[in-house]
Structure 1
Amino acid sequence: MADRATNESRSKISLIVMKLLHEIGINKKTRKWRRYVWTQHETLLSSINTHETGNGKKMFVFGSQIEGSTTPGLKSDLDLVHLADIFSVRSVQDADTNPGYYKLQLLDSFTMEAMHARPFATVSSTSLAIDRTQRIVLNASFFFYSDATEIHGPAATVSHGDLIDDFIVAVRVATRTQEDISWLLRPRQNTWITQNDLEYFLEKDLFLAPVGNPLSSERHLEWRLSFTVIERELMWRLNNTQISCCVLMKMINKCFITPAVGKCVSSYHCKTLLFHLIDNTDVGFWKPSNLLTCLNLMLKTLSIWVESGFCPNYFITNENMFLGKIHGQLRTRLHSVLVNLIEQDFKYLTQIGCDGLGQALSEACSRHHIQPDAIHVLLEGFQRRKDCDVQSGVAISFVISSVFSSYTKLLHFGEMAALRTLMQVYPTCSTVLQDVVPVLTALVCSHFGSQLASSRIATINMNCRDMEMAHMFLLFGTNSDVTAGNLKLAGFYLKLGYASLAEEVLISVDQNFGHFVSAVSFVEPMPCKMETNYKVVSEEMTTDKIFKSCIALSVIYLPSEIHCILPPLCFEMFRSVGADPDLRDPQKDYWYDWGVVDARPYMYFLQHQTYSVLGMETHRMVALQNLAWSITQERIRHRETCLNLLAYCLRQEGLVNPALKCLLLSLEVKPEHNAAVWQIVDMFTQIYNNQTVF
């Protein structure tokens, strides 16, 4: 009877935990979103690289983000694999080479024969080396990113503010061996992989990643066989219970194992453990009411592996994944931690801090005595707080991230080249890409129209045909998002003296700038917080629709557009003149020569300028007050630029002292690379000359 009660209680708690995980993103809809967005990101960057370089450089996205096996609290990094197809090589093994490891011998580019070095010869290239049998091979240690902050196996961790990327350079496997397919042929209790899948998985890419066996004397020359593409496919096949187990193991690792013994257990160990257990259990075992039993089995199996010191690779079972990572006293301490967790009988779940899971579970169990018919009611408050916030936040954040790299990359190689690339990509691209190419095209068209108008204004050659073409491109650019394209169009009208047209555009932008519109800057790697937007979740919106209804991009002006913008933004393009170049990171600060401003403050700035021209005093002062208010908001990304715009408006109002205070405050916000210094110089020059402010 006691066992029956325990089993019933375990089933009830399992259902509660499943419900809680559902509300923080472990559900079909969020997993679908993650897969859609990161597949889009992968395909888009690969397509742009192909048209930019002509060499078909391929990029892959792997890991928890695209698999859907993460939550916001886990803060999983992004795994990016770049194929290094710049050498002609063949994979070779020595008699004593461990399973799953190879050397890559260089082939002659003309004869395609394997290359050997003469005795006592050396190679001049750091990317090559000579092994003990005189073969010329690729030097695996060369293929790491120089700005990596950490190295984990083949992955080089690179930080970009709050965003962390794991970069891996890999080589595609040209031919298959028996070692590559043996995992498909072994018997399984579970039928999740069948003989019919053999041909499907044989078509998937295999890679060699630059990491050697820890015990090898030539580990710096060895490359490990990687099944990451197949792993991703397998993760996509898992049901919600299996994914939930994987996520709980990652949370346990983060909250209990890592603090006790350090980062010796990785998410890859958790995934490997799950694959092995699915193979050896029935399909019916992995159901929601059995979640805690499944989790207990994972902990016990991991404990056995740690005690024996052997973790079998799922694809090459005689490869030990604990080798070089878990041994000696560390192994003893890790085993003790796992045994302690197992003996707690799931009480540790209430201590999990990720995403507030432990606290929510504790409250649910204590207040309602785990009544199954009350599960939905007791979690209703938690659902309201988490459900839409997480799902729409995940959707919007990842959509923006997928477009971010492509947009900045396109801007770097010129507007016409960017348009040409997009026009070449779109007709042949997949359905996944057809959602995002229109957004990128509109953004680039907006730049091109502004650039064309700027060139004509600079030469005082207001050719009607050219200006009409510029206007056409700017109009097309309004299809990018809620605000950016329209604000550039309004600025264009204002620059040419069409204040009434600018007012019409600004009224429309103000009306569309609703509560659920998220302000985003493309010159930062990832938005900090996203507005909750129920439409994103309920309507399963595409990238194109998300940008047009939910995103307010910061407005970007390139140096080639300088004659098409108002004076204060011109100053922004010279923010780095005279500044210490050592304080500028070329990887992150490439935008310092651009004029970049947040959408909402820029809208109020343009309103102030427009109503000044139209002589609408009340509207002008309201716009000025709104501009001052908008700068105080939490999510402003370019606060110093907005303060500079406010100072410019105050100068126009004759309020010199408040304007100076704004500029000094701007310098406090960003002491270096700040255009406020130019406004201060300009202001004092005009005071000295007793001239009228602009």
Structure 2
Amino acid sequence: MFHTPDYYHNISMRLSKVLDDIGVNENIVMKRRRTNLLEETIVTITWRANGIQGTVYNLGYQSEGTTTIGLKSDTDTLGCLDDSIVIQDWSEWPPSKRNFLMIQNETTPPGYCLLQLLRSDAPLPITDETDNDFVKDMHGRILFKNTILDTVLPEGHQRQGPSAASAAKPGFYASDIVIAYPCKSWPQSTRAWLHQQETNTWPTAEMKRYAKSTRCFVVGVGSRASENAAFEWRLSTSLAERCLMFNLNITQIKCYILMKMILKTYINIENLDNESYISSFMCKTILFHCIASKPSCVWKECNIINCLNYCLFTLNNCLLNEHCPHFIVHENNLMASKFSAEVKQQLLERMSILIPFDGISLFGIQIDNLGERLQIKLNMINEVRHDIPQPDKCTMDVTRVLLKNIAQTVFNIEMIGDGSLETLLQKVIQLKRYYRAGDMLEKTACRLQLPLLCTSIGSRIASQNIQMNNTVSPQALTWIEAGLDSDVASSRLKLASIMYCVGNAEIAALILSHIEEQYKTEVTEPMCVCYEFYRHYLKTGFGRLSSQYGVEALKYIVAFCVKFFTSEINCVPHELQYEMFRSTQEDLLHRGEDDDWMDCAVVDSLPYLYFLQYKTYSFLQRPEEQQQALNKLGWVIRTEPNLGHRETALNLLGQCMEQENRPVGALQSYMSSLNLRERNNAARFHICRCLANINS
């Protein structure tokens, strides 16, 4: 490879330890991968339980485990539309699907294709244009334009290549959502790689066999160098590439992460579209080529500097030649028309200071304090800064975010669909099927989602019972009992709410007392997915337990918000029912496409716990405990930083104040609520009523 100076070994070993400390170790890499695979399984099952024919894949650096906290890698989601299929020839045509015929000829750039629309009832082409997304070419073929993706962009997203991209904001990473169509089989242009005889042992025959079993997709973006970019679709072998990434050893992963850090610190120039000229995907591709061309014995931690040197040298050669071949579709040059001669010269000048790479440049990398950490390991710095996180904290920071992501994904099961009892029962049937026939990931996904659905079904049945005869049937209680362990509090709070509404205050008080014992404020994290809001931090205790127990900790240290649909209105005290009618006609104009939750009564678990205690102890005529509950309600509103529905908690507090004959305090609560959410807030009604009562 290169002549290796003696000190390379020492720097490499210390560098490897630094990367271990910031979370680039086998334990954290596997945690990231398992969590992301579980997350994509949960979302896929949720889609299918709601009648959406699709499969979700989490791709990119978060799911590969090839990132760190400081790199702030975006989240990449590929949504495959399974009701469509792309075929290579007529023999593959399936009935009852939206069919496209892949066209690759001398006019389509390598790695790209055209899609011809076919009939779903017979293996024949469609000959008439159906709408603006389909255009007839000079051969009479109806071609599918990739510009259709511009018309389905979610709110807050912009088109960026094949993806709908949302920018990073406080508390949220940037995200890319790619809509993909599955291929019936691997395209001809990608099959050569599967049968290619390698001089080296990587990728192994076993890896290629597995890669062959994965799906290929087409995604909506044309070649930069093409005049027909609006009609072209790029071939995606992202699942095969994920297979390759999952088979890297930890040294190769460390090398890749270092390449990304060096790019971000020293090399990258962003273009007018805020897209890097040298992408992380290019780095990944270069790493693949380097691994395939060098013996496996080279890739060990005592040789990281040497490995990095070779990768950077290879990148420099690609830049010089403006040629970076895709690892699977070799004819596809990732650098084709990527940058001008001027930009190329700038990039080469920046690369020149790094080659040959001696490791000194690493000292200047501020991402994850890598440079400073390395200098400390090499005894170049005597005083260690106290604000540099220790390894245990890095592990805890990663794992608590992973558990938070899983919790939010689980809670989405109820957010899709019309919320009717019939719909929920259908979801349960679907989940039971997946559980019986599924693998371990699918079983875990179903086990996490079912309790929330069971509670919701029981609550809807109870609401019907209460409306008819003010009692709760054994059937409703059986469903609710099946869902009590969904999390620390939300399902039990629904049961307590039901008991209060039918006058069983003693039982309600016992349930609430049990919830309060289980809800450890120093570790339990409120969890809401109704909308995006900035989380100030995740609690240290939450992080500690999440790193110890993983996803199984969800039911002990997560408290979902309590959500009542209008079909559950009889299970809700009248003070909370106002939230179901929070919007005036004018307010409705200020809602977003994801604001359907505003038709429900939604409240964070801990404030609702204290509110229900206040109401229950009032009913039981226990004034001292009632006042304690009121004080706790005010305390949690002031001190819990991550409440998703603080305005609702303030509205409940205000109504308690009114019942205490403290109208000034009530008005202050309502005004504070209105300051948090100016529109679609029941506080407006409460203020009017409160003022009317004062004036009367």
TM-score (normalizing by structure 2) = 0.89
Partner of 2:390, secondary structure, is helix
| Secondary structure at the counterpart of residue 409 of structure 1 | coil
Q: Distance in 2 between matches of 1:94 and 1:170?
A: 21
Equivalent in the alignment of 1:482: 488
Amino acid at match of 1:89: F
- The one-letter amino acid paired with 2:428 is L
Task: Report the RMSD for the aligned CA atoms in angstroms.
Answer: 2.8
Aligned-pair distance for 1:168?
1.7
Cα deviation for residue 319 of structure 1 reads 1.8
Kindly indicate whether residue 69 of structure 2 is the aligned counterpart of residue 72 of structure 1: yes
Q: CA deviation at 1:300?
A: 2.0
The 2-side partners of 1:51 and 1:318 are apart by 41
Matched, 1:249 2:250: no
Deviation beyond 6 Å, 4+ runs, structure 1: 377-381
Q: What is the correspondence of 1:277-426 to structure 2 with a 5 Å cutoff?
A: 277-342=290-355, 345-366=358-379, 382-383=389-390, 386-409=393-416, 412=419, 414-426=423-435
Quote the residue 1:458 is aligned against. Answer: 467
CA distance in 2, matches of 1:111, 1:470: 49
Determine which of 159, 165, 172 is the counterpart of 1:157. 165
Distance in 1 between residues matched to 2:652 and 2:613, nearest whole Å? 12
Deviation at 1:69, TM superposition (A): 1.0
- CA-to-aligned-CA distance 1:154-180 (integer Å, 9 cap, x gap): 222146963543122222222345521
The answer on 1:596 being equivalent to 2:602 is yes
CA-CA distance at 1:606 after TM superposition: 1.9
Contact 1:272 1:314 in 2 (8 A): yes
- Matched to 2:201, the amino acid is T
Moved more, 266-275 or 398-407: 398-407
- The superposition leaves residues 54-75 of structure 1 with CA deviations (integer Å, 9 ceiling, x where unpaired) of x742332211121111122222
| Superposed displacement of residue 15, structure 1 | 2.8
Q: Which position in structure 2 is the counterpart of 1:585?
A: 592
Partner of 2:79: 82
User: Which residue does 2:506 correspond to in 1?
Assistant: 500
Distance in 2 (alpha carbons) for counterparts of 1:411 and 1:19:
52
Q: Distance in 2 between matches of 1:32 and 1:78?
A: 17
After TM superposition, give the deviation of residue 202 of structure 1 in Å.
1.9
Alignment match, 1:374: none
Instruction: Report the Cα distance in structure 2 between the residues aligned to 1:140 and 1:337, rounded to whole angstroms.
Output: 36
Counterparts of 1:475 and 1:177, CA distance in 2: 51
Q: 1:345 to 1:379 in 2, by over 3 A?
A: farther
Query: In structure 1, which of residues 660, 664, 670 is the aligned counterpart of residue 677 of structure 2?
Result: 670
After superposition, the Cα gap between the structure-2 partners of 1:395 and 1:169, relative to the gap in structure 1 and judged at 3 Å, is: closer
C-alpha contact (below 8 Å) 1:368/1:378 kept by paired residues: no
Say whether the 8 Å CA contact 2:369–2:388 is kept in structure 1: no
Matches for 1:46-61 after TM superposition, within 5 Å: 46-53=44-51, 56-61=53-58
Question: Equivalent residue for 2:566?
Answer: 559
Equivalent residue number for residue 449 of structure 2: 440
The alignment partner of 1:88 has SS state of: strand
What SS does the aligned partner of 2:592 have? coil
- CA change 1:302–1:440 in 2 (3 A) is same
Residue 561 of structure 1 deviates from its aligned partner by 1.4
2:270–2:277 contact (8 Å) kept in structure 1? no
The 3-state SS of whatever aligns with 2:202 is coil
Structure 2: distance between partners of 1:203 and 1:250: 30
Instruction: Report if the CA contact (8 A) 2:651-2:669 is conserved.
Output: yes
Q: Which residue of 2 aligns with 1:449?
A: 458
Task: Quickly say closer, same or farther: Cα 1:250–1:576, change in 2 above 3 A.
Answer: farther
What pairs up with 1:500-519 in 2 under 5 angstroms?
500-514=506-520, 515-519=522-526
| Alpha-carbon distance in 2 for matches of 1:128, 1:613 | 66
| CA offsets 1:85-123 (integer angstroms, 9 cap, x no match) | 1521221222232222211122233331345x5xxxx72
Task: Tell me what 1:63 maps to.
Answer: 60
List alignment gaps of at least 5 residues for structure 2: 85-96
CA deviations on 1:220-265 (whole Å, 9 max, x unpaired) are 1111221101001111111111111212222233333346766222
- 1:270 correspondence with 2:267: no
Task: Using the TM superposition, give the Cα deviation of residue 381 of structure 1 relative to its aligned residue in structure 2, in angstroms.
Answer: 7.9
1:446-496 alpha-carbon deviations (Å, 9 max, x no partner): 22222222223334x23x5x5332222222221100111111112222222
Which of these residues, 19, 30, 33, is aligned with residue 31 of structure 2?
33
2-structure distance, mates of 1:315, 1:322: 15
TM-score, L = length of structure 1? 0.89
- Which of 115, 120, 123 is 1:109 aligned to? 120
- From 5, 9, 12, the equivalent of 1:11 is 9
CA apart distance, 1:276: 0.6
Correspondence 1:512-551 to 2 at 5 A: 512-514=518-520, 515-524=522-531, 528=535, 529-532=537-540, 533-539=543-549, 541=550, 543=551, 545-551=552-558
Instruction: Find the aligned partners of 1:344 and 1:196 in 2 and give their Cα distance.
Output: 34
Do 2:60 and 2:76's aligned partners in 1 also have CA atoms closer than 8 Å? yes
Check conservation: 2:185, 2:216, Cα contact below 8 A.
no
- CA displacement at 1:384 relative to structure 2: 5.1
Contact 1:43 / 1:433 at 8 angstroms: preserved in 2? yes
Question: What residue is the counterpart of 1:237 in the other structure?
Answer: 247
Residues 402 and 36 of structure 1, relative CA distance in 2, 3 Å threshold:
farther
Structure 1 distance, partners of 2:138, 2:653, is 68
Q: Deviations over 1:370-398 (max 9, x none)?
A: 9xxxxxx9999843552342242133123
Partner of 1:214: 224
Q: For residues 498 and 412 of structure 1, do their structure 2 counterparts lie closer, same or farther at Cα, with a shift above 3 Å needed?
A: closer
Distance 1:110 1:384 in 2: 60
Amino acid at match of 2:26: K
> For each residue in 1:621-665, what CA deviation from the matched residue of structure 2 results, as whole angstroms up to 9, or x when unmatched?
222222112112322222111111211222222211111111111
What amino acid sits opposite 2:691 in the alignment?
A: F
Q: Name the CA distance, whole Å, in 2 between partners of 1:360 and 1:154.
A: 38
Indicate if the aligned counterparts of 1:34 and 1:398 stay in contact, CA closer than 8 A: no
CA distance in 2, matches of 1:23, 1:406: 36
Change (3 A) 1:109 1:666: closer
- The answer on whether the counterparts of 2:146 and 2:231 sit within 8 Å (CA) in structure 1 is yes
Alignment partners' CA distance in 2, 1:20 and 1:512: 39
The one-letter code of the counterpart of 1:590 is: D
Deviates more, 1:275-284 or 1:409-418: 409-418
**How many percent identity over aligned positions?**
29
Provide the rounded CA distance (Å) in 2 between the counterparts of 1:298 and 1:114: 47
Distance 2:163 2:67 in 1: 19
Shift of 1:410: 5.4
Which residue identity lines up with residue 106 of structure 1 in the other structure? L
Q: How much has 1:42 moved relative to structure 2? A: 2.5
Q: Secondary structure at the match of 1:580?
A: helix
8 Å Cα contact 1:90/1:105 also seen in 2: yes
Q: Distance in 1 between matches of 2:284 and 2:419?
A: 39
CA distance in 1, matches of 2:382, 2:327: 40
Structure 1 counterpart of 2:478, which letter?
M
Query: Matches of 1:623 and 1:364 in 2, distance apart?
Result: 52
Distance 1:167 1:519 in 2: 27
Opposite residue 175 of structure 1, the aligned amino acid is: S
Instruction: Quote how far apart the aligned CAs of 1:405 are.
Output: 3.6
Q: Is contact 1:401-1:526 (8 Å) kept?
A: no
Q: CA 1:639–1:256 in 2, change beyond 3 Å: closer, same or farther? A: farther
For residue 485 of structure 2, give the secondary structure of its aligned residue in structure 1. coil
* Paired letter, 1:246: Y
Q: Cα–Cα, structure 1 residues 265 and 624, in superposed 2: closer, same or farther, change >3 Å?
A: same
Letter in 1 for 2:615: Q
CA distance in 1, matches of 2:207, 2:444: 30
Give the SS at the match of 1:72: coil
